[in-house]
Amino acid sequence: MADSVRGPEDKAQQIYDLLLAEYGEPVWQPRRSGFEQLIQTILSANTNDRNSGRAFETLRQRFNDDWDAVRTAPLSEIKDAIRVAGMYNQKAPHIVETLEMLHREEGFYSLDHVQGMEPEAAQTYLQSFPGVGHKTASIVLLFSYGMAAFPVDTHIQRQSQRLGISGPRASAEKIKTIWEEALPPETYFTLHVNLISHGRGVCRARVPRCGHCVLRNSCHYVARTGAWSETNG
């Protein structure tokens, strides 16, 4: 059986409730400043959390937390410090351009001033930084400041498409808008964290474990493929 609920808001709320019952409510705590989160997120592209975290710590230690020194250092030194994160030929210039922009426009290395902006304006402002897309901007706003932004990564994009929250080929940015319009901001953090857990453990990219999934009754993928009746270990 698929979609026993009515509109997109009902379906989104049902998914939120089922995931909350399954995974609980994560505790929001600002883990890093917005600035640190931004640098960390630049480093995290196409690598895992462990490697991006190691690159970030190496960068900080190598330059003694002196971001002016990072901004003015030879690119080769920055590349060397972040090598473990991969793609250092792109990531190092992005970090320097970010520092240049903050230095030029704000005179300090912080993003705390976004807290005084409307979420939409803050999102646009952060996306004006080099290499920063909607996902990175939303992560900074949600994780560092608890602001109303819903980050959509590959796990959330895949599940939203399968569940029928969006069309099967919808972009991550489109999916972000759909969730944000369907649910209130106070749900974003819990929904994001729980969808990531679900995407890693159950609604996996290659072989979703539909037989173990609490969302199967409202999933378009199951209705289309009959995956529920298959063996999904």
Using the rule CB under 6 A, is 163 a contact of ligand SF4? yes
Residue whose pair of structure tokens reads 């426009």 in the numeric block: 105
Q: How far apart are CA 215 and CA 197, in angstroms?
A: 13
How far, rounded to the nearest angstrom, does the alpha carbon of residue 135 sit from its chain's CA centroid? Answer: 5
Using the rule CB under 6 A, is 203 a contact of ligand SF4? yes
Q: Measured from the CB atom, is 102 or 219 closer to ligand SF4?
A: 219
**Least Å distance between CB 202 and ligand SF4?**
5
Given the residues 11, 135, 174, 176, select the one marked as catalytic: 135
Contact residues for 231 (Cβ-Cβ < 8 A; gap 6+): 211
At 107, list the tokens: 């005179």
* Longest CA pairwise span in the chain (Å): 60
Q: How far apart are CA 166 and CA 157, in angstroms?
A: 9
Q: Measured from the CB atom, is 2 or 117 closer to ligand SF4?
A: 2
Is 135 a catalytic site residue?
yes
Q: Measured from the CB atom, is 62 or 209 closer to ligand SF4?
A: 209
DSSP readout, 3-59? --S-SHHHHHHHHHHHHHHHH--PPP---S-HHHHHHHHHHHTTS-HHHHHHHHHHH
**Least Å distance between CB 227 and ligand SF4?**
6
State the binding string over 206-225 for ligand SF4 (x if CB under 6 A, else -): --xxx--x-xx--x-xx---
State the binding string over 133-162 for ligand SF4 (x if CB under 6 A, else -): --------------------------x--x
Question: Under the rule (CB under 6 A), what is the footprint of ligand SF4?
Answer: 159, 162-163, 202-203, 208-210, 213, 215-216, 219, 221-222, 227
Residues annotated as part of the active site = 135
